[in-house]
Homo-oligomer: A and B are copies of this chain.
């Protein structure tokens, strides 16, 4: 297991930690200012959200390289199923292509896939997972040709209805098995999987298909379905145990901090958030 106590170059900022995934949230720092702040602190990587880089992906990618902060990836694919995204399959495919192109323009490695929830008019999970596979298969060649890898992120089962019919690492790996592509893997986010006692077994199964590892914490008394994630150390997830399992399976990439927190961290000065995140990464992760 890597020792981060004196070297946090494997730390990456997901800009959702500063509220950049929700219009109007946070302090509204530009990508450039955010990159500079990461570089100043030795934060080695960054993950952007699509709205903040819209139309400027190549320019921001260049700026990232100048600052020495690696663009780890981009959030995220369109929803492929469920009630919240495009309802027309061709719109889904078009937007998926755009997301892949934007990731490539940033020279980012990975595009995160959030599947979307249970398909309207249907009941239960399996039918929607099957639809996810159908809608994912056609974009794989384009992603490969762009040098972009796709990371299926199982979300917490509380999002099963509307945001993600994909709720476990087991199901994510079953999808990977079914689609059998070397550019398709999984993103492991402690917020979504911390409760799953089957996780160690699934991580061993995943091996090199672990494309990302996301950090935050699960607050014992969570008060909002979407925007009440905790800073590492403030919750009940076994962060060191989870990282040990991920690294034991062979993962040696970035550890990406992604904290949606409307009433706490998004209200603070981003500089403070980055400082606390860095300190916690070195001490409790």
Considering the chains assembled together, what is the distance between the CA atoms of A222 and B167 in angstroms? Answer: 16
Contact A195 B167 (CB under 8 A): yes
Contacts of A236 in B (CB 8 A): 117-118, 122-124, 160-161
Interface residues, chain A, CB within 8 Å of chain B? 82-83, 117-118, 122-126, 129, 156-158, 160-162, 167-168, 170-171, 194-198, 218-223, 225, 235-239, 241
Q: A83-B221, A156-B157, A156-B158 are in contact. List 7 more A-B contacts (CB 8 A).
A: A83-B220, A129-B197, A158-B222, A160-B218, A161-B222, A167-B195, A167-B196
Contacts of A225 in B (CB 8 A): 222-223, 225
Contacts of A237 in B (CB 8 A): 123-124
Given A83-B220, A118-B236, also A125-B161 (CB < 8 A): no
Considering the chains assembled together, what is the distance between the CA atoms of A158 and B226 in angstroms? Answer: 12
Contact A170 B197 (CB under 8 A): yes
Considering the chains assembled together, what is the distance between the CA atoms of A126 and B236 in angstroms? Answer: 12
Smallest CB–CB gap between A219 and chain B, Å? 7
Task: Give the residue name and chain of the B residue nearest to A241 (CB).
Answer: B124
Contact A218 B161 (CB under 8 A): yes
Contact B194 A124 (CB under 8 A): yes
- 20 CB contacts below 8 A, A to B, read A82-B220, A83-B221, A118-B236, A122-B236, A123-B236, A123-B237, A123-B241, A124-B237, A125-B195, A156-B158, A157-B195, A158-B158, A160-B195, A161-B218, A161-B220, A162-B220, A168-B196, A168-B197, A170-B197, A171-B197
Smallest CB–CB gap between A170 and chain B, Å? 7
Contact B157 A197 (CB under 8 A): no
Residue of A126, A157, A168 most packed against chain B (CB within 10 A): A157
Contact A158 B161 (CB under 8 A): no
Considering the chains assembled together, what is the distance between the CA atoms of A236 and B82 in angstroms? Answer: 11
Sorted nearest first, the 5 A-B pairs with minimum C-beta distance are: A124-B238, A161-B220, A160-B195, A158-B158, A123-B238
